[in-house]
Amino acid sequence: MGIEREIKLALPADQADEATQWLTARTGEAGQPLALDNLYFDTPSLTLARSKSALRLRRTPDSWLQTFKTVGTAQSGMHSRHEWEMPVAGPALDIDALLHACDDADAAAALRNAAPQLIELFRTNFTRTLWLVDHRGTHIEAAIDRGEIVADVEGATRRAPICEIELELKSGDEAALHAFAAELMASVPGLAPEDVSKAQRGYQLRELGSGTA
């Protein structure tokens, strides 16, 4: 089991270029774009959501990955959550492999109970532009994500935009992660802490109908 620690920042669309330029100047390298398509699964009665967990199948240009994670905690944009991630052979979940890896009894029980009724609930399609940052000896993966959340509900397609920055602590001091985020926010004033994950926004879009049809 890994614990993912990242700071998520809402990025106004009209400041995406400014943030890109700042990160490029800060690292001395152009960001590397990566197209990501993600499918989120749950039961019709939202068994996983009620257990505060989420199940995702991600297609990258090179492979497929499945991820099972808990909602964890989020405060002032800082997200901490348990995560189990592994490659799969193709566009299908391998629940047995996730259950074998999951060492949280409650999360595993929820996944086991949900498995027979899983359906695709919504998807996120976005381009992630990546930079690797060394800040005071701490290694941070900085990403600008731009795209959309899509949910098909009762014959209608609902959409909501994605435009955000994620700063993930890969190794080192969490205080340095916060310091780097503060430096970025001071340089791009429109940034704001975001406590709601893409998965949570997807559930809201499907259940509440927020977004555009």
For 81-113, what is each residue's pLDDT tens digit?
A: 788 999 999 889 999 999 999 988 999 999 999
Average pLDDT over residues 45-51: 92
Q: Among residues 30, 60, 66, 39, which one has the least CA distance to residue 142?
A: 30
pTM for the complete prediction? 0.89
- Looking at CATH, the fold of the domain delimited by 2-208 is given as Hypothetical Protein Pfu-838710-001 (2.40.320)
Backbone angles phi, psi at 14, to 5 degrees: -80, 0
Mean pLDDT, to the nearest integer, of 62-89?
A: 84
Give CA torsion, residues 151, 156, 162, 166, to 10 deg.
-10
Residue boundaries of the structural domains of the chain: 2-208
The mean pLDDT value of the chain amounts to 91
